[in-house]
Amino acid sequence: MSAGRKFKIACIGAGNVGATAAQYCLEMELGDVVLTDIAEGVPQGKALDLSETGPVRGYSCMATGTNDYKDIAGADVCIVTAGLPRKPGMTRLDLLGKNGNIITDVCKNIAEHAPDSVVIIVTNPLDVMTYLAFTKLGFPPERVVGMAGVLDSARMRSFVAMELGVSMKNVDTMVLGSHGDDMVPLPDYTTVSGIPITKLLPQDKVDAIVQRTRKGGGEIVALLKTGSAYYAPGASAARMAQAIIRDEKQILPCAAHLTGQYGLDGVYAGVPCMLGKDGVENIIELELTDDQRTALHTSSEEVQKGIDELKELGVL
Ligand code: APR
């Protein structure tokens, strides 16, 4: 990526999360956005709508919509949200196989048309799909990263702020592990203006925040009834794109390829990463308690089961 030119973000999947990520990328003027989807007219219609928003919201980046992967050529960042939601009657394994095939197809096209991009995977099950994308893309591991920790920690930050009645901006936190019930929120790395929350809240309140964070996605599904969250997921993917495009060197929790860190090797897991123009430029190893380390390994074993199932299905 060279400085001084306009950047390009490909949002692959123009559904709720993809279009929301596109909206935040445009609002932050990160670059022009190409919305890509198999549904005819949907990416074109949403892109036109987003471009027409520019004069009102004061951005000059453009959005275009396409069904043709040739149009992602030259993308600096690809945000992948293409996938199917789980439908009634569909087993978890059915969904794994279907989304696995979609990610395989998407990755073939990214490798062909945007071979120098940094790829942010958002499609669930996140950690398994990110590992699959890494194997299918053939990119160096630092250019394939999963979006989970930014979202999970944003949820935890908002719950802490709500509980204490303080500004969300003052709350920092860290959530490790996989995206799901096995995630590992770290209360002792959660602070309000530098003050650990363990000094501000009684243990039962801290435990309740940890539990609510783990179930954060499900809480929204239960309320919406016909869909899942998209504002915070879209914003989180755009946040990662921002750190990469602006070469910010921000430390954000992301699903990254581990080669021995935290005692894990050859897997993707949520860990603190330094994001910059080359993608995951560094992985930070935090000191963990024995319980936290065990929880991280347990969550990684669950991801490995999903990877093994993909192998059984012939997707990997
Ligand atoms: N290529 C490109 N796009 C595809 C493909 C494909 N092979 N298959 C499906 N899509 C598109 C669909 O047409 C749809 O527009 O992916 C989009 C998915 O959008 P939604 O159904 O609205 O799902 P969304 O809520 O955006 O979630 C997308 O992100 O957070 C995760 O769990 C979520 O895995 C899900 C993903």
Considering the chain, tell me which residue range(s) the CATH 3.40.50.720 domain(s) occupy: 8-146
- Best residue among 16, 71, 136 to mutate for probing ligand 1's pocket (most ligand atoms within 8 Å of CB) is 16
How high is the mean pLDDT in each 10-residue block of the chain (316 residues)? 78 98 98 98 98 97 98 98 85 91 98 98 96 98 98 98 97 95 94 97 98 94 92 98 98 98 96 98 97 96 95 95
Identify the pLDDT of residue 262. 97
Report whether residue 117 contacts ligand 1, using a CB cutoff of 6 Å: no
Q: Which two tokens stand for residue 110?
A: 């990214």
Distance CA 43, CA 10 (A): 11
Q: Are residues 151 and 98 in contact, defined by beta-carbon separation less than 8 angstroms?
A: no
pLDDT at residue 2, as a whole number: 47
Task: Please state the φ and ψ torsions of residue 253, each to the nearest 5 degrees.
Answer: -75, 125
228 contacts 85 by C-beta, under 8 angstroms? yes
Q: From the CA of 46, how far away is ligand 1's center (Å)?
A: 14
Question: How far is Cα 292 from Cα 272, in angstroms, rounded to an integer?
Answer: 14
- Cβ distance 167 to 174 under 8 Å? no
Q: Is there a catalytic annotation at residue 179?
A: yes
Place of tokens 């059984």: 312
Beta carbon of 105 within 6 Å of any ligand 1 atom: yes
Choosing from 113, 179, 257, 297, which is the catalytic residue?
179
pLDDT of residue 1: 47
Assess if CATH 3.40.1190.20 describes domain 149-313. Answer: no
C-alpha triplet 286, 291, 297: angle, nearest 5°: 75
Residue of 100, 134, 108, 121 lying closest to 259 (CA atoms): 134
β 32-36/63-66 pair status:
parallel
User: Does any ligand 1 atom lie closer than 6 A to the CB of residue 124?
Assistant: yes
Top mutation candidate among 46, 84, 105, 108 for ligand 1, by most atoms within 8 Å of CB: 84
3 contact partners, CB below 8 Å, separation of at least 6: none
Closest Cα to atom 4 of ligand 1: 82
Rounded Cα–Cα distance for residues 85 and 174 (Å): 27
Sequence ranges of the chain with CATH classification 3.90.110.10: 149-313
Topology of the domain covering 8-146: Rossmann fold (3.40.50)
Q: Structure pTM?
A: 0.97
User: Which residues on adjacent β-strands are paired with residue 64?
Assistant: 34
Q: How far apart are CA 133 and CA 186, in angstroms?
A: 28
Residue of the nearest CA to atom 32 in ligand 1?
124
The three-state secondary structure class of 42 is helix
